[in-house]
């Protein structure tokens, strides 16, 4: 298993380095949190919120980081491979194609990380003193939430991608999921600024735990109900896993290796 | 195991949405979709013994690829039974998948932007081939195919022939016992075709592998297969030896003529079916019972410089089988 993992990660890392330019541009299209950062920092400077301007800067920087950890494109890949018939080659192997796609995403992070590090330096130059040591516990919990969030995102994207077995093209389905993510994950504003009633509903959905939870943990914000948050996130991840497995089984019967 | 591959009354039916061209057709398609039932394979039966190399012939749309996909587990049969090495292919059991391969001449499994060795490395991991054995197989296959020098080049930089050879390497790295080859020499030049054929022959002989091969190049079939299965419109037309195919569907000989002076079209019509007439050269098919008489008359009536009697090319035999659609 270890040999398999190493081979996959090393080859797919090499594969992703070929697309390093594209990954850089993709990363730049994910700079939206910096714009929201600028807006909210200015609002704080003008005294429109109780928060400190640096607290906003810190929060949105970590929203950006956690989002970068969770980027997925497996819906597009599945749609493409199913439509062209290339998916057939993966089905001929005695290994679930899931592992190929997951390894590609993990390897891609290896190319993306150095670029994020450069942006960290820019951030530190723009907002000196914004970052501080929040403690090992918060760092670990934030990382765990981010990684679990990545897994949930990946499983949802994978399940939606499998719908291409029926629809032939499923990329826009993931875009619909992304819209909900944008609105309800804390991507536009910290969720504690949302009305209480809205938060009550959102807390049952997976979205607050994809961006708000890790960003708040890393930026030192008070985060009530961390344990419950992890449980909800785990529950949604499990649900997405079951959905993906169900669609995989049903989809295989449907697959006709189109275009081959 | 008596048979490595069994197809018994194998059937596959699709429903395909039909759409008229233009705006009206698009709107109608949107509101009221019409479907057409396609019977791609209609009850095909055959069996391959372990180690056999069999040519699988048929015109485009005959159902060859659909049959191969059912035998590799990519498609669920609509009816009948498929069995490969004792497994039901559609169950896709790992032990089954480890022992088969499918090569499609018009599809690539190689990672496009990376050197061939990277795809081979992935496949070695997937099939859990020990490192020393992996190195040995890569060296052996590369040497057999003559592509040792290109394994570290990105796949997109390779020629079509080199790419196809590399595809074969990737497909056979795990030493499959059953090879399904769908047009493996498609678009290749004569030398590359020969190299691919030699490789398949050597591999099958060394490993005792069973091979089911489709190709539009009769040279592939003649070089590799002693037995051929012919299907047309989803039905089996013929299953037997190459020689038997020629005897059964070509009860004629080919007469090649080289004349002193050009002939007019129609001059040779009474003697047989004129396949080609180019200036002073002609080829005609003559029914075997009439052959001696026809040759004697040709020599008597025309200024013949040279005359040869041969078996007709396999392409023409197959073409004739398809045109006539004769069921075995």
B102 touches chain A (CB under 8 A): yes
Beta bridge partners of B38: B14
A228 touches chain B (CB under 8 A): no
A contact residues 19-58, partner B, Cβ 8 Å cutoff: 19
B112 touches chain A (CB under 8 A): no
Closest CB to A94: pick one of B107, B108, B126: B126
A118 closest CA partner among A65, A69, A71, A73: A65
Contacts of A128 (CB under 8 A, 6+ apart): none
B309 touches chain A (CB under 8 A): no
Q: A259 pLDDT exceeds 50?
A: no
Q: How many CB atoms lie within 10 A of CB A105?
A: 21
Of residues B317 and A55, more confidently modeled: A55
Please state, in angstroms and rounded to a whole number, the distance separating the CA atoms of residues B83 and B8: 9
Q: What is the pLDDT of residue B113?
A: 93
Q: Mutate which of A92, A111, A255, A258 to disrupt the B interface (most B C-beta within 10 Å)? A: A92
Question: Can B5-246 and B251-310 be said to share one CATH topology?
Answer: no
Nearest CA in chain A to B109: A89
Percent of chain B with pLDDT over 70: 99
- Buried b / exposed e along B43-75 (16+ C-beta atoms within 10 A): ebebebeeebbbbbbbbeebbbbbbbbbbbbbb
Size of interface A-B (CB pairs under 8 A): 75
Read off the pLDDT band of B102 (50, 70, 90): very high
Q: B147 pLDDT exceeds 80?
A: yes
Question: Residue for token digits 């990672």?
Answer: B111
Q: B1 pLDDT exceeds 80?
A: no
Burial of B169 (C-beta count, 10 Å sphere; 0-12/13-18/19+): buried
Read off the pLDDT band of A90 (50, 70, 90): very high
Q: A260 pLDDT exceeds 60?
A: no
A41 closest CA partner among A49, A131, A65: A49
Please state, in angstroms and rounded to a whole number, the distance separating the CA atoms of residues A163 and A156: 11
Closest CB to B121: pick one of A11, A19, A93: A11
The answer to whether the beta carbons of residues A207 and A184 sit under 8 Å apart is yes
A contact residues 71-100, partner B, Cβ 8 Å cutoff: 85-86, 88-89, 91-95
pLDDT in tens, A132-163: 899 999 999 999 999 999 999 999 999 999 99
Sign of CA dihedral B106, B111, B116, B117: negative
Read off the pLDDT band of B325 (50, 70, 90): low
Asked if A7 and B14 come within 8 Å (Cβ–Cβ), the reply is: no
Q: B309 pLDDT exceeds 70?
A: yes
Asked if B104 and A7 come within 8 Å (Cβ–Cβ), the reply is: no
Of residues B107 and A45, more confidently modeled: A45
Q: B327 pLDDT exceeds 50?
A: no
Q: What is the DSSP letter of A83?
A: H
pLDDT in tens, B2-16: 899 999 999 998 887
Nearest CA in chain B to A3: B125
Q: A195 pLDDT exceeds 70?
A: yes
Q: What is the pLDDT of residue B133?
A: 97
Q: What is the pLDDT of residue A256?
A: 61
Question: Residue for token digits 């490993």?
Answer: B207
pLDDT in tens, B290-305: 899 999 999 998 889 9
Q: B231 pLDDT exceeds 70?
A: yes
Nearest-Cα distance to chain B for A236, in Å, is: 30
Please state, in angstroms and rounded to a whole number, the distance separating the CA atoms of residues A235 and A229: 10
Q: What is the pLDDT of residue B326?
A: 58
Asked if B122 and A11 come within 8 Å (Cβ–Cβ), the reply is: yes
Asked if A91 and B92 come within 8 Å (Cβ–Cβ), the reply is: yes
A7 touches chain B (CB under 8 A): yes
Query: Which residues of chain B are within 8 Å of residue A260 when distances are taken between CB atoms?
Result: 65, 69, 74, 104, 106-107
pLDDT (mean) for B159-187: 94
Of residues A128 and B171, more confidently modeled: B171
CA distances from A189 to A28, A43, A116 (A): 20, 12, 21
Q: What is the pLDDT of residue B20?
A: 77
Q: Mutate which of B71, B125, B133, B156 to disrupt the A interface (most A C-beta within 10 Å)? A: B125
A193 touches chain B (CB under 8 A): no
A118 touches chain B (CB under 8 A): no
pLDDT in tens, B36-45: 888 999 999 9
Quick one: B5-246 is in which CATH superfamily? P-loop containing nucleotide triphosphate hydrolases (3.40.50.300)
Please state, in angstroms and rounded to a whole number, the distance separating the CA atoms of residues B82 and A114: 52
Q: What is the pLDDT of residue A94?
A: 96
pLDDT in tens, A110-127: 999 999 999 999 999 998
The answer to whether the beta carbons of residues A202 and A208 sit under 8 Å apart is yes
Q: Determine whether domain B251-310 maps to CATH 3.30.70.
A: yes
Please state, in angstroms and rounded to a whole number, the distance separating the CA atoms of residues A97 and B167: 19
Closest CB to B125: pick one of A7, A19, A91: A7
Beta bridge partners of B44: B10
Domain boundaries, chain B: 5-246, 251-310
Closest CB to B118: pick one of A11, A86, A89: A11
The answer to whether the beta carbons of residues A207 and A191 sit under 8 Å apart is no
A255 touches chain B (CB under 8 A): yes
pLDDT (mean) for B99-104: 96
pLDDT in tens, B243-277: 888 777 777 888 999 988 888 778 888 888 888 88
Q: Mutate which of B66, B126, B182 to disrupt the A interface (most A C-beta within 10 Å)? A: B126
| Both tokens assigned to A147 | 């990684």
pLDDT in tens, B82-92: 999 999 999 99
Query: Which residues of chain A are within 8 Å of residue B100 when distances are taken between CB atoms?
Result: 92
Phi, psi of B273 (to 5 degrees): -85, 115
A183 touches chain B (CB under 8 A): no
Q: What is the pLDDT of residue A2?
A: 80
- 3-state secondary structure at position B145: helix
Asked if B75 and A257 come within 8 Å (Cβ–Cβ), the reply is: yes
The answer to whether the beta carbons of residues B223 and B213 sit under 8 Å apart is no
Read off the pLDDT band of B35 (50, 70, 90): confident
A15 touches chain B (CB under 8 A): yes
The answer to whether the beta carbons of residues B50 and B210 sit under 8 Å apart is yes
Nearest-Cα distance to chain B for A249, in Å, is: 11
Q: Return the top range by mean pLDDT from B206-215, B259-268, B280-289.
A: B206-215
pLDDT, mean over chain B: 89
pLDDT in tens, A219-250: 999 888 899 999 999 999 999 999 999 999 99
Q: What is the pLDDT of residue B144?
A: 93
A2 touches chain B (CB under 8 A): no
Nearest-Cα distance to chain A for B286, in Å, is: 41
B76 touches chain A (CB under 8 A): yes
State the DSSP string of B23-40. HHHHHHHHHS-EEEEEEE
pLDDT (mean) for B196-200: 94
């Amino acid at each position: 298993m270890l040999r398999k993992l190493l081979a996959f990660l090393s080859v797919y890392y090499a594969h992703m380095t070929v697309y390093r330019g594209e990954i850089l541009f993709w990363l730049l299209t994910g700079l939206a949190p910096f714009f929201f950062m600028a807006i909210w920092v200015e609002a704080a400077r003008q005294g429109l919120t109780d928060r400190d301007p640096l607290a906003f800067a810190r929060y949105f920087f970590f929203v950006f980081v956690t989002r970068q950890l969770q980027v997925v494109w497996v819906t597009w890949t599945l749609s493409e491979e199913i439509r062209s018939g290339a998916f057939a080659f993966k089905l001929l192997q005695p290994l679930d194609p899931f592992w190929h796609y997951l390894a590609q995403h993990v390897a891609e992070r290896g190319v993306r990380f150095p670029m994020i590090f450069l942006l960290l330096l820019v951030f530190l130059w723009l907002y000196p003193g914004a970052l501080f040591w929040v403690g090992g516990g918060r760092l670990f919990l934030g990382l765990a939430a981010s990684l679990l969030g990545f897994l949930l995102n990946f499983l949802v994207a994978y399940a939606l991608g499998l719908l291409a077995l029926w629809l032939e093209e499923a990329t826009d389905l993931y875009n619909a999921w992304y819209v909900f993510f944008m609105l309800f994950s804390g991507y536009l504003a910290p969720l504690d600024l949302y009305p209480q009633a809205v938060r009550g509903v959102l807390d049952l959905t997976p979205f607050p735990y994809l961006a708000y939870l890790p960003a708040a943990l890393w930026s030192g914000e008070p985060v009530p109900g961390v344990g419950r948050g992890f449980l909800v996130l785990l529950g949604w991840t499990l649900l997405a896993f079951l959905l993906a497995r169900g669609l995989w089984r049903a989809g295989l019967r449907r697959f006709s290796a189109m275009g081959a | 195991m008596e048979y490595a591959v069994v197809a018994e009354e194998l059937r596959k039916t699709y429903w395909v949405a039909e759409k008229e061209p233009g705006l009206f057709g698009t709107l109608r398609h949107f509101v009221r979709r019409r479907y057409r039932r396609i019977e791609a394979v209609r009850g095909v039966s055959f069996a391959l013994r372990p180690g056999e190399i069999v040519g699988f012939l048929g015109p485009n749309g005959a159902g060859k690829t659909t049959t191969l996909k059912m035998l590799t587990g990519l498609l669920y049969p609509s009816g009948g039974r498929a069995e490969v090495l004792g497994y039901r292919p559609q169950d896709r059991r790992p032990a089954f998948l480890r022992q088969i391969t499918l090569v499609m001449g018009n599809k690539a499994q190689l990672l496009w932007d990376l050197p061939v060795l990277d795809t081979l490395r992935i496949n070695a991991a997937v099939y859990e081939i020990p490192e020393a054995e992996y190195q040995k197989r890569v060296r052996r296959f590369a040497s057999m195919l003559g592509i040792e020098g290109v394994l570290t080049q990105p796949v997109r930089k390779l020629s079509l022939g080199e790419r196809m050879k590399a595809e074969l390497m990737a497909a056979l790295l795990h030493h499959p016992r059953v090879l399904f080859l769908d047009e493996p020499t498609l678009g290749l030049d004569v030398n590359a075709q020969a190299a691919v054929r030699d490789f398949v022959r050597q591999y099958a002989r060394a490993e005792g592998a069973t091979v089911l091969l489709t190709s539009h190049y009769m040279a592939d079939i003649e070089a590799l297969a002693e037995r051929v299965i012919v299907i047309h419109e989803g039905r089996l037309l013929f299953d037997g030896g190459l020689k038997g195919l020629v005897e059964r569907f070509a009860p004629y000989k080919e007469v090649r003529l080289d004349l002193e002076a050009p002939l007019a079209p129609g001059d040779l019509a009474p003697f047989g079916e004129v396949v080609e007439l180019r200036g002073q050269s002609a080829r005609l098919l003559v029914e075997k019972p009439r052959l001696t008489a026809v040759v004697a008359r040709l020599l008597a009536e025309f200024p013949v410089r040279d005359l040869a009697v041969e078996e007709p090319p396999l392409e023409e035999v197959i073409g004739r089988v398809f045109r006539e659609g004769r069921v075995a």
